[in-house]
């Protein structure tokens, strides 16, 4: 059975369409009106081996915040919908990714509970993009997907590299967590539900 979902989200500030196939090959078509954010989502799809189509229009003339956060909400909902019953998934995923001088570790639990922890210094602008909103994207994603996500940005000096390490490690950890294991019967929890 295909693990995919389509989500449409419309508010007075944004209009977002997401089509996400979890078991893809890294094909993507991303257009948010925010070039640096598009680049990060391209990396996310490629390194997660997700087929991801995402189109967003928002009030980027005000700033990037609403669009970036609402994309996180829509993607989190799409993940939750695509996972369905979550039977047979590994549940946990961890990835440590270097990007030149930057290093980031992401850890994920597909737990059915929302928890987001971010450790590290991420401040400033790169490519006209305020990197502070990366945390808003991740928090929104976590809230809708109902997962636990820990991001440890261990070090780095170049802002572009630091953000890239975050998105790549997030993608690879998520890919590991949602991977199926034929030995797992039902959901990987003694409670019997995630």
The CATH number of residue 157's host domain is: 3.30.230.40
> For the segment 55-66, what is each residue's pLDDT rounded down to a tens digit?
999 998 888 999
E strand intervals along 73-124: 92-99, 102-109, 115-119
Domain assignment of residue 185, yes or no: no
Percent above pLDDT 90 for the chain: 86
For 132-176, the pLDDT digits (tens) are 999 999 999 999 999 999 999 999 999 999 999 999 999 999 999
Split into its structural domains, the chain has a count of 1
Rounded Cα distance between 141 and 135, Å, is 10
Give the residue numbers spanning the domain of 37: 4-178
SS3 136: helix
* Backbone φ and ψ of 184, nearest 5°: -85, 125
Q: Is residue 170 part of a domain?
A: yes
Phi then psi for 32, rounded to 5 degrees?
A: -115, -10
Mean residue pLDDT across the chain: 95
What's the whole-model pTM score?
0.94
pLDDT range class, residue 6, cuts 50, 70, 90: very high
pLDDT of residue 127: 87
């Amino acid at each position: 059975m295909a693990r995919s979902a389509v989500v449409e989200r419309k508010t007075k500030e944004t209009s977002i369409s997401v089509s996400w196939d979890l078991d893809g090959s890294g094909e993507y078509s991303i257009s948010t009106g925010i070039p640096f954010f598009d680049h990060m989502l391209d990396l996310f799809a490629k390194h997660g081996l997700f087929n991801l189509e995402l189109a967003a229009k928002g009030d980027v003339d005000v700033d990037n915040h609403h669009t970036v956060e609402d994309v996180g909400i829509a993607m989190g909902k799409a993940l939750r919908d695509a996972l369905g019953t979550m039977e047979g998934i590994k549940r946990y995923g961890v990835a440590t990714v270097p990007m030149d001088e930057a290093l980031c570790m992401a850890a994920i639990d597909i737990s059915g509970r929302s928890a987001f922890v971010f450790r590290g210094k991420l401040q400033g602008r790169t490519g006209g993009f305020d990197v502070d909103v990366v945390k808003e994207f991740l928090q929104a994603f976590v809230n809708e997907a109902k997962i636990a996500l820990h991001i440890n940005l261990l070090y780095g000096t170049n802002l572009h590299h630091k953000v890239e390490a975050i998105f790549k490690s997030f993608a690879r950890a998520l890919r590991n967590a949602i991977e199926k294991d034929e030995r797992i019967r039902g959901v990987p929890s003694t409670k019997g539900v995630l």
